[in-house]
């Protein structure tokens, strides 16, 4: 028995950031359940190219769930129905023959649409540039065991360092908040010895830049946590808020 499916897609098409976009309908046949979602889009684009039509533009790179480029909303969910998966990791076995699938770009003021499903996520880069680095010169990398870090602290820092900056948290949030992303970046650095030196300056500058870029505020909806393909917890947001409030009460730089 063949597992091939016929799917009916509604895809957001938009010429550029200044043009008005809209949904267009497409039918894709012979889709295997073993295909990834991006491979299915590749098949659709091949069909469009053969017909002399403009292929759908979407972001992708590693196709291994590492780079975070494959950003799109699938049936209203960031990266689709798979839990803790990116779009490129999600397989078509999540869908059934005859399903209608709505595909659209991230919806956030700070992520303007470039074309079709591709958005400009450079706002995240600007938050990183505002303070997501360490200026202290340590020379050569120290021997691994020379700097004592508790296992729980190290594990939590690594959990936050898993953030791939895909933008799903902001896209899923009704306020288009980048709090989970910013919290992950501040937390991964401030927990470890090298990042503690500038932790106060970092959290203030990154939150300030986040607000300047037009991201919304966190209202504890927890949709960011649910959409995150790396499972980063909103505990990081609470930690960042405590750290930020501490800098407002007392600043020593």
**CATH number for the domain including 51?**
3.10.20.30
Q: 206-251: per-residue pLDDT in tens?
A: 999 999 999 999 999 999 999 999 999 999 999 999 999 988 876 5
| CA–CA distance, 7 with 1 (Å, rounded to integer) | 18
Q: 91-103: per-residue pLDDT in tens?
A: 999 999 999 999 9
User: What integer is the mean pLDDT of 57-82?
Assistant: 95
| CA–CA distance, 182 with 97 (Å, rounded to integer) | 40
190 and 227 assigned to the same domain: yes
Q: Which residue do the tokens 């939590």 mark?
A: 156
159 backbone φψ class: left, alpha, beta (φ>0; ψ -120 to 50): alpha
Whether the pLDDT of residue 142 is over 50: the answer is yes
pLDDT at 192: 86
128 and 214 assigned to the same domain: yes
174 and 243 assigned to the same domain: yes
Q: Which of 80, 98, 115 is the last residue of a domain?
A: 115
Q: 181-207: per-residue pLDDT in tens?
A: 999 999 999 998 888 888 999 999 999
Q: Which of 115, 147, 168 is the last residue of a domain?
A: 115
111 and 125 assigned to the same domain: no
Whether the pLDDT of residue 252 is over 60: the answer is no
218 and 239 assigned to the same domain: yes
Q: Which of 115, 145, 160 is the last residue of a domain?
A: 115
> In sequence order, what are the residues at sequence separation of 6 or more whose Cβ sits closer than 8 angstroms to the Cβ of residue 209?
126, 127, 129, 130, 131
200 and 156 assigned to the same domain: yes
Give burial (CB, 10 Å; 0-12/13-18/19+) of 210: buried
Whether the pLDDT of residue 253 is over 50: the answer is no
Specify the number of domains making up the chain: 2
Q: Comparing 134-143, 169-178, 185-194, which segment has the lowest mean pLDDT?
A: 134-143
129 and 230 assigned to the same domain: yes
Tokens describing residue 167: 């933008």
222 and 134 assigned to the same domain: yes
**CATH number for the domain including 198?**
1.10.1060.10
91 and 46 assigned to the same domain: yes
107 and 127 assigned to the same domain: no
133 and 240 assigned to the same domain: yes
126 and 110 assigned to the same domain: no
Q: Which domain holds residue 187?
A: 121-249
């Amino acid at each position: 028995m063949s597992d091939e499916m016929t799917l009916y897609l509604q895809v957001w098409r938009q010429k550029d950031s200044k043009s008005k976009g809209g949904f267009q309908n497409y039918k894709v046949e012979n889709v295997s359940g073993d295909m990834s979602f991006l491979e299915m889009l590749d098949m659709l684009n091949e069909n469009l190219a053969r017909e002399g039509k403009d292929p759908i533009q979407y972001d992708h790179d590693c196709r291994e769930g590492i780079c975070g480029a494959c950003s799109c909303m699938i049936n209203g969910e960031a990266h689709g129905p798979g839990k803790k998966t990116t779009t490129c990791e999600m397989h078509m076995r999540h869908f059934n023959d005859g399903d209608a699938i709505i595909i659209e770009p991230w919806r956030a003021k700070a992520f303007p649409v470039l074309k079709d499903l591709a958005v400009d996520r450079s706002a995240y880069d600007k938050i990183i540039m505002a303070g997501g680095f360490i200026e202290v010169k340590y020379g050569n990398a120290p021997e691994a065991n020379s700097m004592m870090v508790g296992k729980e602290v190290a594990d939590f820092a690594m959990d936050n360092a898993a953030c791939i900056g895909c933008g799903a948290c902001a896209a899923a949030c009704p306020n288009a908040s980048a709090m989970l992303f910013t919290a992950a970046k501040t937390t991964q650095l401030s927990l470890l010895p090298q990042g503690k030196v500038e932790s106060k300056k970092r959290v203030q500058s990154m939150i300030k830049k986040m607000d300047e870029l037009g991201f919304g505020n966190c209202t504890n909806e927890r949709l960011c946590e649910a959409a995150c393909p790396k499972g980063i917890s909103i505990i990081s947001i609470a930690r960042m808020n405590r750290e930020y409030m501490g800098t407002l009460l007392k600043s020593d730089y």
